[in-house]
Amino acid sequence: MRVQLALSLPREAISVPLARHVVSAALLTAGVEPTCVHEVEVALSEACTNAVKHAVEGVVYDVTVAITDEQVSIEVIDSGSGFGQHQTTNGHDHLALDGRGIALIHALTDLAIFDSINGEDGSVQLTKRLRWRQGTPQRGLAPSVELPR
């Protein structure tokens, strides 16, 4: 299975729950365990909130999502000054919502990279291994279907 989503969202507060609900619906429909979906929702919300609140230019930001049998990869790109290329620590960060956004992202994902594109645009890349609901067909195997002759 491979699902790809691309969203171009206004830098307005309403875009954060919109992004969260689109990604959540895709993951739940695919059969991802609800607790895992919630963790992705919170991390995505924090990344989008940072784009809405801290990007200095532009009227939109972009969210790309790739869902595979093993993981979900999300990238949030804005037209802000960027973080500088680094992986942040779980400590307090002045750009995080109430000082906890980046710590939450790290706690809820397997990998979080905060970067800058061309030294200008900000980029947050999130990766999380997926946990599947019991009874969901085994990932990676297409269900066998007999075609009429």
- Read off the pLDDT of each residue in 68-76 and give the average, rounded to a whole number: 97
Is the pLDDT confidence value at 121 over 90? Answer: no
Q: Is residue 111 part of a domain?
A: yes
Where would I find the H helices in 79-132?
A: 101-108
- Read off the pLDDT of each residue in 73-78 and give the average, rounded to a whole number: 94
Residue 81 pLDDT grade (very low, low, confident, very high; cuts 50, 70, 90): low
DSSP letter string, 35-100? HHHHHHHHHHHHHHHHHHHH--S-SEEEEEEEEESSEEEEEEEESS----SB---SS--TTSGGGT
Q: Is residue 147 part of a domain?
A: no
The token pair that represents 76 in the structure block: 């949030």
pLDDT recorded at residue 36: 98
CATH, residue 60: 3.30.565.10
Residues of the domain holding 9: 2-129
Is the pLDDT confidence value at 96 over 60? Answer: no
Q: Is residue 17 part of a domain?
A: yes
pLDDT recorded at residue 54: 78
Is the pLDDT confidence value at 35 over 60? Answer: yes
